[in-house]
Amino acid sequence: MPARIDQLRDLILKAKHAYYYSAEPIMSDAEYDALEDELRALTPDDPVLALVGAPVPADTILTKARHAMPMGSQNKVNAEAEFRTWVERSGGGPVHASLKGDGASAAAYYRDGRLVQVISRGDGTIGEDITANAIRFKGLPAWVGAGDSGEPFNGAVRFEVILTVADWARIDPARSKNPRNAGSGIMGRKNGHQADCLTAFSFDLDEQRSGGAVRFATEAGKVARLAALGFQVIPHQHCETVDEAVAWYRDVQARRDELPFWIDGVVMKIDDIARQEALGVTAGRPKGQVAWKFDSAGAETVLENVIVSGGHTGSLVPTAQLRPVDIGGTTVSSASLANFDEIARLDVAIGDSVWLIKANDIIPKVIRVTQRPADRRPILAPSICPFCGGEVGRRRITSGEAGVILECRNAACPKKSSGKINRWITSLDIQGIGDSVLEAMLERFQIEDAADLYALQGRAAELAALIINADKEIRLGDKRAQSILDAIEATRTLELPRFLGSLGIDHAGIRRIELMIEAAGGELDTLEAWRSGRLRDPDLAERAGVPNLGGPIQDGIDAMSTVIDKMLANGVVILPPQRDIPGESLAPVKTVCISGKLPSGAKKSDYEAPLRAAGYKLVDSVTRDTGFLVLADPDSASGKAEKARKLGIAVISEEALQAMVAGQSSGPV
């Protein structure tokens, strides 16, 4: 009977959340009522029955949150000899071995049996609140019963958020992203879409009973407790000896491609927890645990040359030109060397034989030199900018590859300008302007910055005649030229965050601009406010969530002042940021969802600004609050169309949409 009560509580909590937050009910009203009736019959005063509305507030998603106990990292071993040495130094087996899932770590916090908060790993101390999505994860119960202890469960559970191969194939048949990146993207979605496709595989817990921490004797006992509480535990193995642990690692490595989800190694822990604790911690990493990672696919090749590329911030990045070599089924001929400090650390030179891997099975990376011939040529850091001859300086970076990068200090460097133009094109998804086309446009039209793109509308014939391949004398052509001009025109009206975040200003991408506007509470709602110099005010920078970046961001905006003025002069329209205004619940903004390829060839983003101007909001999914669903064929039987009809949402054509944004009607009739 207690088990059934716990099951009913879990089902009711998940159903409540789906109904109120995701607007994608997981059961009918009749089914839900039957669950509540059954629970009421078993326990009339059950606290779950007293809950009103959604158990998790939707507006908590992605807000910063602090872990009750820090989530640390593990030391790594890369070879059998290293692993055996670690076991010997740790006092020998038994060893608890478990798969190291290739996903994102998080922690779930429970109070009196109920899931109250889930926080992504973040930096181990501060993460993001993902409760509104996590309550829909498979393998993570919304309610945990008392079990054998007789007390409601209180504590924290650590787990890996994983998109299994089966779910990956279901939501992304083309496999356009790897499951790790796809899963991380789903985990952080504000609308919760596809969160129920993710699985939580638990591997650790901190349990509280009678006001004190539960002491587990072994890792095996801890995992058994997790399973008994109803969590999906990560696949694991108890190994009495180091030989058994090595054999299990080898077996997992051989079966890696057959597993139901991606992994990147095996986690090994001394099974005796008291011995683990006695071994201590170094730099936040417990000495009694290691991650034995798989070797990345690699091959030996020759570094034939190094070229320096320039970024829109002025960074000068060395890239290795390699003798083509096959790694994991793809031919690799170049790899980033990160920075010139990394070149010095590797002691690599042109002509050297190097060992190349795909870091995380994706990014080509030189990890060591295997042979240094007598005629090797040193790789010299540029003393002046190779693009403009300007002064070169050093700047320490704190994200990505650690170290110091070289950068051009000339504000007028043409590479910075073209880099920022390319950043604008990429950020706003202006289709048709690849590297060769952009290079030809820069030369033919003397384009100095992104603002000049908006002065091309009357030059379609010149654009069509543009030679984009001199060797074969290939011209751009009328159709491609008009397509590019249309794509540029579609970005002439932009919301403030997209405008500022696409300029290529250091530390100021679209998402950060959105967060700053939201945090500033109206003080940064206009372009004039951003250009006023007020971000140098420490108090405003603090309120905007950038206490250490206000000055640098303001410097970047000031440096783009001429470009911004040209944008405005060339007809670029900047709309204020979208925000929900309290007190307008009686007149909610109608929402519009656009699905599929439209007959005109326009993209969804093309309609975002016109819809806003007409009083509508563009959304990505169909919910009970959606006003209209736009389809190329209003009679379509697609999933979104069927859901819209079931919810009584109007399904309209693009023609009707155009009438709406043109102000010809307040909605289809």
User: pLDDT, tens digit, for every residue of 43-63?
Assistant: 887 777 766 555 666 566 667
CA atoms within 13 A on the CB side of 597: 2
Burial string for 468-477 (b: 16+ CB within 10 Å, else e) reads beeeeeeebe
- Amino acid identity of residue 378, one-letter, is P
Q: Check pLDDT > 60 for residue 665.
A: no
| Bond from prior residue into 94 cis (ω within 30 degrees of 0) | yes
| Domain map (residue ranges) of the chain | 1-55, 59-293, 298-408, 414-491, 494-575, 590-661
Percentages helix, strand, coil for the chain (3-state, rounded to 5) are: 35, 25, 40
Q: Do residues 254 and 110 make contact, with C-beta atoms less than 8 angstroms apart?
A: no
* More confidently predicted of 443 and 296: 443
Identify the CATH class of 1-55.
mainly alpha
Q: For the segment 217-243, what is each residue's pLDDT rounded down to a tens digit?
A: 999 999 999 998 989 999 999 999 999
Q: Check pLDDT > 70 for residue 360.
A: no
What superfamily would CATH give domain 414-491? 5' to 3' exonuclease, C-terminal subdomain (1.10.150.20)
Q: For the segment 106-134, what is each residue's pLDDT rounded down to a tens digit?
A: 999 998 888 888 998 877 788 888 888 88
Choose among 192, 190, 168, 194: nearest CA to 181. 168
Q: Check pLDDT > 80 for residue 253.
A: yes
Choose among 592, 598, 594: nearest CA to 632. 598
586 contacts: CB under 8 Å, gap ≥ 6: none
632 — phi, psi (to 5°)? -60, -40
* Average pLDDT score over residue span 546-552: 87
Encoding tokens for residue 257?
């491609």
Burial string for 323-344 (b: 16+ CB within 10 Å, else e) reads eebebeeeebeebbbbbbbbbe
Q: Check pLDDT > 90 for residue 211.
A: no
Q: Check pLDDT > 90 for residue 87.
A: yes
Share of the chain above pLDDT 70, in %: 87
Q: What's the rounded Cα separation, in Å, for the pair 311 and 313?
A: 5
* Average pLDDT score over residue span 146-171: 84
Confidence of residue 156 (pLDDT cuts 50, 70, 90): very high
Nearest-10 crossing angle of helices 29-42, 2-17:
140
Q: For the segment 495-512, what is each residue's pLDDT rounded down to a tens digit?
A: 999 999 998 888 888 888
What's the first-to-final CA gap in the chain, in angstroms? 54
Q: Do residues 162 and 199 make contact, with C-beta atoms less than 8 angstroms apart?
A: yes
pLDDT of residue 176: 53
Q: What's the rounded Cα separation, in Å, for the pair 611 and 496?
A: 16
pLDDT of residue 329: 63
* Average pLDDT score over residue span 260-284: 89
Encoding tokens for residue 603?
């993209």
Q: Name beta bridge partners: 303.
A: 322
pLDDT of residue 33: 74
Architecture of domain 590-661: 3-Layer(aba) Sandwich (3.40)
Share of the chain above pLDDT 90, in %: 21
**Mean of the per-residue pLDDT values of the chain:** 82
Residue 663 gets the label, from left (phi > 0), alpha (psi -120 to 50) or beta, of left
Strand 199-209's sheet: what is its strand order? 114-120, 104-111, 154-162, 199-209, 212-213
Q: For the segment 600-610, what is each residue's pLDDT rounded down to a tens digit?
A: 877 777 788 78
Q: What's the rounded Cα separation, in Å, for the pair 423 and 401?
A: 21
**Alpha-helical regions (H) of 57-197:** 80-89, 131-134, 165-171, 179-187
User: Residue for token digits 């089924």?
Assistant: 329
What are the strands, taking DSSP E only, across 104-178? 104-111, 114-120, 126-128, 154-162
Q: Check pLDDT > 60 for residue 583.
A: no
Q: For the segment 11-47, what is each residue's pLDDT rounded down to a tens digit?
A: 887 777 666 565 566 777 677 778 888 888 888 877 7
Encoding tokens for residue 94?
């038994």
Q: What's the rounded Cα separation, in Å, for the pair 295 and 288?
A: 22
pLDDT of residue 180: 81
Fold for 298-408, please state it: OB fold (Dihydrolipoamide Acetyltransferase, E2P) (2.40.50)
Confidence of residue 372 (pLDDT cuts 50, 70, 90): very high
Identify the burial level of 60 via C-beta atoms within 10 angstroms of its C-beta, where 0-12 means exposed, 13-18 middle and 19 or more buried. Answer: middle
User: Residue for token digits 């005063």?
Assistant: 45
Identify the CATH class of 59-293.
alpha beta
Model confidence pTM above 0.85: no
pLDDT of residue 667: 42
Encoding tokens for residue 576?
């204020």
pLDDT of residue 45: 78
Q: What's the rounded Cα separation, in Å, for the pair 531 and 573?
A: 16
